[in-house]
Amino acid sequence: MGTKHEQILSYIESLPIGARISVRGVARTLRVSEGTAYRAIKEAELQGLVSAIDRIGTVRIERPQKKHIERLTFAEVVGIVDGTVLGGRDGLYKTLNKFVIGAMQLEAAVRYIEPGSLMIVGNREQVQRMSLEHGAAVLITGGFTASEEVQRLANERQLPIISCTYDTFTTATLINRAIYDRLIKKDIVFVEDVLSNQQLAVLPRRATVRDYLDIAEKSGHSRFPVVDDAGRVVGIVTARDVAESAPDTPVEQVMSRNPHTVSLKTPIASAAHQMVWEDIELMPVVQNKRLVGVLSRQDVIRALQLTSRQPQMSETVEGIVLRGFEEVHHDDRTLSVVGEVTAQMTGATGTLATGPLMVLIENCALACLQRNRKVDMVVENVTLYFMKPVPVDARLEVRARILDFGRRFAKVDVEVYAGQDFSAKAMLTTQVLER
């Protein structure tokens, strides 16, 4: 049986959605003190199980699920285009799948209309009516309105019909920009997002080295968390720990105590930092102090690689800066990134801005490290010296040279040339994460 705190959390989780919860009620039902009940309810609020609502009290709610970042509702479209809803208000919170511009004959437009789409059109009543009949909402541009018949049809079908004062091109650009911005604003990747569903292999506290060898042979792994009777992590045991121990030796005598742990809500970037800094291969994942999984270095690297491969990453500021540059490998093991300074990379003075320059320096350093060893890096410190400004349209070469490359840290020297002019120099100290 768990602690009183855990029992209260389990009780709250078992309540139906909408049930009211009070400190006194929980304390009376479970026969615990009001202080213990209060702390558990606050913990449940942090976990998203309950919510305090004004004039109502604390209520059991459904745990919020992660939303898809690409989703855009018709209600949000109204705000984006400063529009007015003419009909179909009941469908405002339906999801927009795509938008279609009605700049074609009526017969041709039918092929492009799908349920959940948004038809952007002017004062063409036939197209408006046809769109609603095929399950698409309508956005009327140019400040025009809809007839009473079209508005009545929109109300019947529960499909919004919106009017805005912008022209068609501006309207489409605004919506496209909103979708694009959402694509870039990715959710932070947490430990719970990459935790595998494989069966968890653990050793009890009273296990022996012989038990370790048996479970290692069956699972193919060499590192295991050690738990007590309540499921709490008390240590980590590895092949190195048991190498010179007799088979009957208790695991508790050879394990590493007080291991570093992470929770389900720990960002992957934070977990990666701990693994590099402490040279950890395996980290137990705990919830309410109980073991729920393990996070390996391979899991972290896979998550970081998956993040970098997302399609929206190519259209960030970093992607725009790197678009016109290419890598050049030299015989002396140095590496250059070569390209032309575009107007998008300049500041108010018309010269290369610091931000794009740092993007080039950091990526050149990473490419140079990866040429020598398959690693990922986290920049820890940068010292940057400016010699001369770099004008727009200049031919830029960023050359990186490794000064020191250890198991956990690396130092990289980077020089920047604009044509034949020596323009900047940087020294980077980075943490290294082996792949």
Question: Residues 327-365, buried b or exposed e (16+ Cβ, 10 A)?
Answer: eeeeeeebbbbbbebeeebbeeeebbbeebbebbbbbbb
| Mean pLDDT score across all residues of the chain | 85
Give CA–CA dist 273/382, Å, rounded: 18
The CATH T-level fold of domain 320-434 is Thiol Ester Dehydrase; Chain A (3.10.129)
User: Where in the chain are the domains?
Assistant: 4-60, 72-184, 191-305, 320-434
The predicted-structure confidence for 24-68, as pLDDT tens digits, reads as follows: 999 999 999 999 999 999 988 888 888 887 666 788 887 655 544
Q: What is the dihedral of CA 366, 369, 371, 374, to 10 degrees?
A: -90
Of the pLDDT bands very low, low, confident and very high (cuts 50, 70, 90), residue 290 is confident
Q: Which residue has the tokens 């770099």?
A: 390
| pLDDT at site 153 | 93
* Four-way CATH pick for 72-184: 3.90.1170.30, 3.40.1390.20, 1.10.10.1100, 1.10.760.10: 3.40.1390.20
Question: Residues 83-118, buried b or exposed e (16+ Cβ, 10 A)?
Answer: bebbbbeebbebebeebbbbeeeeeebeeebeeebb
Of the pLDDT bands very low, low, confident and very high (cuts 50, 70, 90), residue 347 is confident
Residue 201 or 386, more confident: 386
* Four-way CATH pick for 4-60: 3.40.50.300, 2.60.120.10, 2.40.50.140, 1.10.10.10: 1.10.10.10
* pLDDT, average across residues 102-122: 88
| pLDDT at site 268 | 82
* pLDDT, average across residues 314-325: 76
* pLDDT, average across residues 295-306: 77
Give CA–CA dist 226/245, Å, rounded: 17
Of the pLDDT bands very low, low, confident and very high (cuts 50, 70, 90), residue 184 is low
* Four-way CATH pick for 191-305: 3.90.226.30, 3.40.50.20, 1.20.910.10, 3.10.580.10: 3.10.580.10
The answer to whether the CB of 392 falls within 8 A of the CB of 351 is: yes
Of the pLDDT bands very low, low, confident and very high (cuts 50, 70, 90), residue 2 is low
Of the pLDDT bands very low, low, confident and very high (cuts 50, 70, 90), residue 69 is very low
The answer to whether the CB of 383 falls within 8 A of the CB of 350 is: no
The answer to whether the CB of 77 falls within 8 A of the CB of 118 is: yes
Structure tokens at 204: 């009890």
| pLDDT at site 313 | 47
Of the pLDDT bands very low, low, confident and very high (cuts 50, 70, 90), residue 230 is confident
* pLDDT, average across residues 277-304: 82
